[in-house]
Structure 1
Amino acid sequence: MKKKENQRIALTKRLLKESLLQLMSNKSVQNITVSELCSAAEINRSTFYNHYGCPADVLKEIETDVVADLQQIWEEEGSAKNWPMNKRFEALCTYLQEHKKSAKLLFRDSDTNSEFATLLFQAAHVQAAYAQAFPYVTDPDSKRLMITFLTNGTYHLIRQWLLEDIPKTPKELGDLAYLVATQGWEEPPKLRSAK
């Protein structure tokens, strides 16, 4: 009985998520009502309120699912192969390309201050990559600023690639991100003292 109930809950949530993404193709989540979402998903409002408080809660769960999927990819593939940054970035872009329709919607209405961006860049796999970044920088504040710069640039690179349908492959994006990022990862040349 419990298994059947869990399957019913999973189906209800899937229907709500799919319906929300479909509605978001025409308007932002802030303009979608519970009634509208329930009608699109063909479920009643009381069932909706058993799981969520508002449509934004459904979106938040979709975003959490995306980050969990990416975390699983990096744990199963990346850790085993000790992926460098460009391969991690390529895997991220491959996932987003495979889920392009929903990825566009997630990135369309969000920026680097959004909950989605925070979830994405605070994930363990990203933090592990950052832990290895800028090994020559010993000042924690400088390192934090450099990581902020890299994070914001990476987020907007992905966002622009998705929203403008820029014809680059995930591998090309991974190589591009690596090229940009490593300019700051290598120790800068020492300044020569004037004689």
Structure 2
Amino acid sequence: MAYEKADQRVRYTKMVIKNSLLELMKERPVSKVTVTDICKKANINRNTFYTHYANQFELLSKIEDELYEEIRQVVGHTMNLENSGKLSYEICKYIKANSNICEVLFSENGDKELLERILYISHDINIEKWKKEVKNIDQKLFDKWYTFTAYGSIAIIKKWVTSGMKESPSKIAAFIDKATEAISKDFY
């Protein structure tokens, strides 16, 4: 019982520290945030912070890694060669459900490459699917097509997130899917 209570306190403390960094990053990039700033915002002392993280950069990296892993799991559960059409919807739905984190991490103050890493999770599965559908197109051409569609999707999702996610995840996903499909018809 005492162990569970201690574990709950640790989880709570980490959550408060993470939320404090995210709040501060709404105003400025992580390079302009100090451990002292985070501790003041979280109402903890520096020793507590250093018990869990080496610095603000490691903390941000942990937050990004957790988000990436959760989205990777969503992709893993959603993606199969027969039903990849739901993928963009599931990613947009996840982003909307986790808007407090995504708004910060996908903003100008966040990691510029995080969304790219997320959208490349399904790369190999899509390449295999397209190879089966179109027999006579080479791998390099597929890679170029995927890069083009991924960066277009990144731009749409980023604009959606930074403009307050007013449209539903299904509407954004439908636009991405329709644009990708229109391009792919001309592609092959």
- After TM superposition, is the score higher than 0.5? yes
* Identity between Structure 1 and Structure 2 (%): 22
Whole-Å separation in 2 of the counterparts to 1:70 and 1:184: 25
- d(CA) in 2 for partners of 1:151 and 1:112? 17
Q: Residue 168 of structure 1: SS of its match in structure 2? A: coil
How big is each residue's C-alpha offset from its partner over 1:15-69, in whole Å with a ceiling of 9 and x where there is no partner?
1111111111222211110111012112222222232222122222222222222
Task: Confirm whether residue 20 of structure 1 aligns to residue 21 of structure 2.
Answer: yes
Distance 1:130 1:52, change over 3 A: farther
- Aligned partner of 1:139 in structure 2 is 138
Q: Match of 1:151?
A: 150
Q: Is the 8 A contact 1:112 1:118 kept in 2?
A: no
Counting matched residue pairs gives: 185
How has the CA–CA distance of structure 1 residues 142 and 109 changed in structure 2, closer, same or farther, with 3 Å as cutoff? Answer: same
Contact 2:30 2:56 in 1 (8 A): yes
Go from structure 1 to structure 2 and tell me whether the alpha carbon gap of 1:118 and 1:49 turns closer, same or farther (over 3 Å shift).
farther
The aligned residue for residue 38 of structure 2 is: 37
When the two chains are superposed, the root-mean-square deviation of aligned CA atoms in Å is 2.8
Question: Where in structure 2 are there 5+ consecutive unaligned residues?
Answer: none
Distance 2:96 2:179 in 1: 21
C-alpha distance after superposition, 1:64-121 (max 9, x if no partner): 2222222333444x25895333x2111111121222232111111278952x134313
Give secondary structure in 2 for the equivalent of 1:183: helix
**1:119 matched to 2:120:** no
Matches within 5 A, 1:73-88: 73-76=74-77, 78-79=78-79, 83-85=83-85, 87-88=86-87
TM-superposed deviation, 1:5? 4.4
